[in-house]
Structure 1
Amino acid sequence: MFQSPLQVLCHKLKRLRGAIQAWNKEVFGDIFQVVTQKEAEVWLAEIRMESDESEEPRVNLHLAQAQLRVPLWVEELFWKQKAHVKWLKEGERNTKFFYSVVKHRRVQSVIHKIKNERGEWVESEEEIGAEAVRFFEKLFTAQHPTSSPGLLQNILKILTDEDNVLLKQVPAKEEICRVMFEMDGESTPGPTGYTGKFFTAAWSIIGEDVVRAVCSFFCGAELPRAVTATSIVLIPKIAHP
């Protein structure tokens, strides 16, 4: 069965995500449990050194401290990614700070109650979810859309016909590469979870697939479901919704 370059790229990224998840589970495991275990090993090494003044306990303590640094670094990276904080680059370990940011974001994102179409307030998590589903199902299955094609006549024309022709041209490989490397390394361009840094770091492997996918789009290839799919998220507009 023929697959367009866009479908090929999406299929490869989907397969890679499963492999990364398995690798994460096998190599890193529960990072918080690892930190707790290594901290306990450091604590035991300190106790042994207090009762034994020979060289071996001191060496074991340094070794335990060194082995603790890696899981601490991994834990900090985890909370940094969760917090989406980009301006804090240097300094001591910021795990508590990142965790507090994540916790605050979660508290702000909680919707405590919502008004249904009858004007009644519903407060349980199940009722809020059901009401949101009903609202968007009704919105996206409306038989009489409110917009009118005639409204486009009132929009000021800014681009010339030459500009439109230029925008429709298939981009060169160098232009695609430049745009990819100008992406924010910490942000994800879609719900797949792959950040800009992933594409730049793996460009020697995935670059040709990305270039072919982009070019096929400009040639009229149909966008696969993996690209057009999205998530509907209710974003609170006040501090405590």
Structure 2
Amino acid sequence: MNNYDDITVTHLSSTTSDHKPILLQCLQNQSYGPKPFRFQNMWMNHNNFLQVISDFWKSRSYLGGMHGLASKLKGLKAVLKEWNLKSFGNIQEKIQDAERLATYAQECFEADQSDFNRANYNKAKAEIIMATDNEFNFWKQKANLKWMEEGDSNTKFFHAYVKGRRTKSMIRVIEDSNGKPITNIEVIKKMAIEHFFNQFNNKKSVSMSPILAYITPTITEEDNNLLTMIPSDEEIKNTVWSLSPNSAPGPDGYNGHFFKFCWEIIHKDVISATREFFLGVPVPISY
């Protein structure tokens, strides 16, 4: 069962029998569309990570404010995806390669305990530790279990949990406007796009005036001035630092870890964008 991406059970009509037949479908390589970008916490352990961020950020130094920050974060996604493939690749394959190299290095050291072979053996062991740590961090982040104790390192459990949650959240069937069940994945994708396109392009507008007339104002002038006051650099930083680093990321795919870890590089743009918002600059659609 673990070899299949999706398994569904359907109870069919009993027709002339006393029992309902059960249809078990085991599917592989189901395409549910492109995977959204997600910042991986394991990237922060790479000694070249901050340099990658810094180099890209400097190349877009002419951009500022909310539009600038949104553009930089969007462009950085492509850079990080390419860098991830080169630096991390397939996590499981990295572990297997590290194990093969460690086995070979151990054999060489046992045959000839020279300083050179000792150094190679120690390096190979360090590579295994790093590869397994990356796998653990990858699946732990995907599982996003806040009740797990720090230090728990059952990678197999995280993997099974993620797979189970993915299966539960998968949309396998929807009904069309006539109540007919639709199971074709491509048709489901198309219907979902059409539904939200129509939702967000609805020209109907509802006047809030009748409702607002019954709401008594409770915000004083002093409160209003405090709420609309331009925040200081320190206040903006403290707000970023109050974010839970392991909470689910926003639509852009970046979590709290990214903003904290890269703060020295990106802080000017974050502060500039925040101030624009409080000054009343229209928020870009990309947000």
**What interval of TM-score do these two structures reach, taking the shorter chain for normalisation?**
0.7 to 0.9
Which residue does 2:90 correspond to in 1? Answer: 30
Q: 2:180 aligns with which of 120, 123, 139?
A: 120
Answer whether contact 1:4 1:216 (CA < 8 A) is retained.
no
RMSD of Structure 2 on Structure 1 (CA): 3.0
Is 1:210 matched with 2:266? Answer: no
Q: CA deviation at 1:53?
A: 6.8
Equivalent residue of 2:286, what SS? helix
Answer whether contact 2:240 2:256 (CA < 8 A) is retained.
yes
Superposition map of 1:2-13 within 5 A: 5-13=65-73
Alignment-mate amino acid for residue 104 of structure 1: G
Distance in 1 (alpha carbons) for counterparts of 2:155 and 2:249:
26
Equivalent residue of 2:204, what SS? coil
Distance in 2 (alpha carbons) for counterparts of 1:36 and 1:154:
67
Which residue does 2:76 correspond to in 1? Answer: 16
Q: CA deviation at 1:180?
A: 0.9
Distance in 2 (alpha carbons) for counterparts of 1:54 and 1:174:
58
Is 1:181 matched with 2:228? Answer: no
Q: 2:145 aligns with which of 79, 85, 94?
A: 85
Please list every run of at least 4 consecutive aligned residues from structure 1 whose deviation after the TM superposition is greater than 6 angstroms: none
CA deviation profile, 1:56-108 (whole Å, cap 9, x unmatched) = 6x946655333211111111111122222234343353211211121011011
Which residue does 1:231 correspond to in 2? Answer: none
Q: 1:96 aligns with which of 156, 168, 171?
A: 156
Which residue does 2:231 correspond to in 1? Answer: 171
Between the two proteins, the alignment pairs up a number of residues equal to 224
Answer whether contact 1:4 1:221 (CA < 8 A) is retained.
no
Alignment-mate amino acid for residue 214 of structure 1: T
Alignment-mate amino acid for residue 27 of structure 1: S
Distance in 1 (alpha carbons) for counterparts of 2:149 and 2:268:
32
Distance in 1 (alpha carbons) for counterparts of 2:137 and 2:85:
16
Q: 1:73 aligns with which of 133, 137, 142?
A: 133
Richer in helix (by share): 1
Q: Could you say if the C-alpha distance between residues 149 and 105 of structure 1 is closer, same or farther in structure 2, counting changes exceeding 3 Å?
A: farther
Q: 1:198 aligns with which of 231, 248, 258?
A: 258
Alignment-mate amino acid for residue 179 of structure 2: G
Distance in 2 (alpha carbons) for counterparts of 1:45 and 1:4:
51
CA deviation profile, 1:204-236 (whole Å, cap 9, x unmatched) = 222122111111111121222321xxxxxxxxx
Equivalent residue of 1:29, what SS? coil
CA deviation profile, 1:18-56 (whole Å, cap 9, x unmatched) = 33223222222222211111123344566x48xx67646
- Percent sequence identity over aligned pairs: 34
Distance in 2 (alpha carbons) for counterparts of 1:186 and 1:218:
27
Unpaired stretches in structure 1, ≥5 consecutive residues = 228-241
Distance in 2 (alpha carbons) for counterparts of 1:130 and 1:147:
32
Q: Could you say if the C-alpha distance between residues 91 and 197 of structure 1 is closer, same or farther in structure 2, counting changes exceeding 3 Å?
A: closer
